[in-house]
Amino acid sequence: MTANQAVLDWLNTEPDWDAPDEGPGAPVSDGPVSVDVTAPSAATLASATAAERMELVTDYVRREVARSVGVTPAALDTERTLVSVGIGSMLGLELQYRLKSSLGVAPELTELLMAKDTHALAAMVVALLGSGG
């Protein structure tokens, strides 16, 4: 996705006709969903192997994205782009802030919004953690 495509996605007000009506990725209409989100500690991340660190961060990012769009982590379609699951500029800023507050690092907003999926976002965060931000 190009930067121009991300801007167009932000401005897209049409419904996502490809979104499922039920199951993962389906819209939630019952109001906010309470999602327990606890970031892995710095000590836990430091003592983890590379694979464990990626798993910990991926799980945390999935929970944060789910909380942002008001679905349970199990209902979040982790293979869809962040924009297509409902992360726009305002929610992106909030997500960026929560990542920075809890982990000490966060991708730039444009990188966050252009992430291919939650796995790609988690990989960005792990790379920033490895380089110290």
Where are the domains positioned within the chain? 38-131
3-state secondary structure of 10: helix
- Of 69, 71, 61, 70, nearest to 37 by C-alpha is 61
- Residue 80 tokens read as 């869809």
Say how many C-beta atoms besides its own lie within 10 A of residue 101's C-beta: 10
Are the CB atoms for 25 and 87 separated by under 8 Å? no
The DSSP letter of residue 73 is G
* pLDDT for the residue 119: 97
* Helices of type H across the chain: 3-11, 42-47, 50-69, 82-85, 89-103, 109-113, 118-131
Q: Report how far Cα 120 is from the mean position of its chain's Cα atoms.
A: 9
3-state secondary structure of 74: helix
Q: What are phi and psi of 78, to 5 degrees?
A: -75, -5
Greater confidence (31 vs 82) lies with 82
Measured CA to CA, the distance from residue 108 to residue 70 in angstroms comes to 23
Segment 54-111, tens digit of pLDDT: 999 999 999 999 999 999 999 999 999 999 999 999 999 999 999 999 999 999 999 9
**Percentage of residues in the chain with pLDDT exceeding 70?**
71
pTM over 0.85: no
Domain 38-131 superfamily per CATH: ACP-like (1.10.1200.10)
Confidence label for 6 from pLDDT (cuts 50, 70 and 90): low
